[in-house]
Amino acid sequence: MKKILILGSNQGFGQSLSNKMKNKGYKIKCTRNIKKAQQYKEEQNPNFILFTGKMGINKDGTFYFEF
């Protein structure tokens, strides 16, 4: 069974995608917690990791991520 980890703050999107993918035979893990995501990644070795938060570039050129 293929495994997908969904990480981020957009839980509505994550839940919607999770329901659709479970019906297709995927095992889905949704979390907003980066430590839980890291633990799941190490223990379960998911086939795909999807980030549903926001990311962008600050005025000084650095990147930011929001969960």
Q: pLDDT tens digits for 14-34?
A: 788 888 888 899 999 988 888
Which range marks the domain in which residue 4 is found?
Answer: 1-24+33-52
User: Is residue 2 domain-resident?
Assistant: yes
**What is the pLDDT confidence band of residue 46, given thresholds at 50, 70 and 90?**
very high
Tokens linked to 67: 């969960």
Whether 6 maps to a domain, the answer reads: yes
* In-domain check, residue 46: yes
Q: Is residue 60 part of a domain?
A: no
61: left (phi over 0), alpha (psi -120 to 50) or beta: left
Q: What's the total number of domains in the chain?
A: 1
| pTM for the full predicted model | 0.74
Based on its alpha-carbon atoms, the radius of gyration of the chain, rounded to whole angstroms, reads 13
